[in-house]
Amino acid sequence: MTQNLEHNAPLTSEEAERIRADFPLLSPDAEGNRLVYLDSGATSQKPQQVLDAEHNFYRNANAAVHRGAHTLAVEATDRFEAARRRVADFIGADEREVVWTSNATEALNLVAYSMSNATAGAQPGPEADRFRLQPGDEIVATGMEHHSNLIPWQELAARTGATFRYIPLTADARLDLDAAAELIGPKTRLVAFTHVSNVLGLVNDVVAIVALAREAGALTVLDACQSAPHLKLDVHRLGVDFAAFSGHKMLAPTGIGVLYGRAELLDAMPPVLFGGSMITTVTMDRAEFLPAPQRFEAGTQRVAQAVGLAAAIDYLDAVGMDRVAAWEVALGLRLMEGIESLPGVRLLGPALDSGVERTGAVAFTVEGVHPHDVGQFLDARGIAIRVGHHCAEPLHGFLGVTASTRATSYLYNTEADIDAALNALADVRGFFGVAR
């Protein structure tokens, strides 16, 4: 159990095995077969503590929040807002800088739609002007983005007449910061980029990119989907203006996401969803809106899911995010070293000895075998991995492949899991009759 972990010691396979026991879905089946789950980059499994927290809310505190004076409504609201404070503390933000969304995709789109020359609810002043794009303005993303941090900005450019540009990659698939310095300039109004590549697990230099954007007077939007679950995240220290992540990738329920925004920007940003719970006064002619973050939370909120996210954060903190990060890196390196020894298997991205900062995500291809076939073969061995373009088609095009196989570890994985995956992977080409 997590309460028995020693925070000052590195995480070990024995501790990871004890952590795994908290996850009902990872329990051995009736025949004693063990699931090797290496798809946490897509969605993580949930510990019993999170399942209990969500269930407890529905059993003991279920009511509409911010809408009633009765005891149950007050209890529900208290738990909902306590979850907001817990998230804020986890990412180094203030609670009024945390906006609930259904997922990271909605959070990113919320910012994008607010910049579509919207005026409803906008506050006068220079900060509000930053949300009004026009022809001649430029939006910058990168060549390694997940589609959720790419398409919203393409569409924003189309709606406003702004120009969409992107930071290219170096030959080994890192962000080209020299090119970024040339690209980000006086016309740049927004720079959107990922903290960690969801395909390659590369950790980008957030501080350097923020500095370039700030010098140009541009807003920054950070995709933290692959960093919030795996690294110690401090949005104030990083200096980003906005950040987005999803609960389901970090042990929490589906249906809950977070948009972080600097307080002064959220106060100036126009809402894009309108209805109940986000207003102060409504007449038949006009409406006035609540301050942030509630102005962006129209309608019934994801209360039980927010409570579940807070429980997930409690769980992660009990283990220690630094220990989680170090363990995943160790597992990722073990996998990469094993893959490099396998004939016909190609690691994607920088070489193992490149010195690039990474998480535990590893993507690869198998010569002569389609990734879908690789995935099905491993699945038959009880190993769950991801196959496809991982919602990053432009990056795969740059790498010269249409799809890849991706393994992503988490705190409940062990060295034995990695070794089982490598042993199975060693048999793939032989099974499909591909010459060794």
CB of 163 closer than 8 Å to CB of 157 = yes
Specify whether 225 is catalytic: no
Question: How many angstroms separate the CA atoms of 436 and 241, rounded?
Answer: 50
> Which residues have a Cβ under 8 Å from the Cβ of 316 and sit 6 or more positions away?
90, 229, 250, 251, 324, 411
Q: Which of 108, 92, 86, 104 is nearest to 246 (CA)?
A: 104
Q: Which residue's structure tokens are 């450019």?
A: 157
Catalytic one of 118, 263, 273, 391: 391
SS (H, E, C) the chain: CHHHCCCCCCCCHHHHHHHHCCCHHHCCCCCCCCCEECECCCCCCCCHHHHHHHHHHHHHCCCCCCCCCCHHHHHHHHHHHHHHHHHHHHHCCCHHHEEEECCHHHHHHHHHHHCECCCCCCCCCHHHHCCECCCCCEEEEECCCCHHHCHHHHHHHHHHCCEEEEECECCCCCECHHHHHHHCCCCEEEEEEECECCCCCEECCHHHHHHHHHHHCCEEEEECCCCCCCCCCCHHHHCCCEEEEEHHHCCCCCCCEEEEECHHHHHHCCCCCCCCCCEEEECCCCEEECCCCHHHCCCCCCHHHHHHHHHHHHHHHHHCHHHHHHHHHHHHHHHHHHHHCCCCEEECCCCHHHCCCECCEEEEEECCECHHHHHHHHHHCCEECEEECCCCHHHHHHHCCCCEEEEECCCCCCHHHHHHHHHHHCCHHHHCCCCC
Q: Which of 327, 353, 358, 340 is nearest to 422 (CA)?
A: 340
Residues annotated catalytic, as ranges = 391
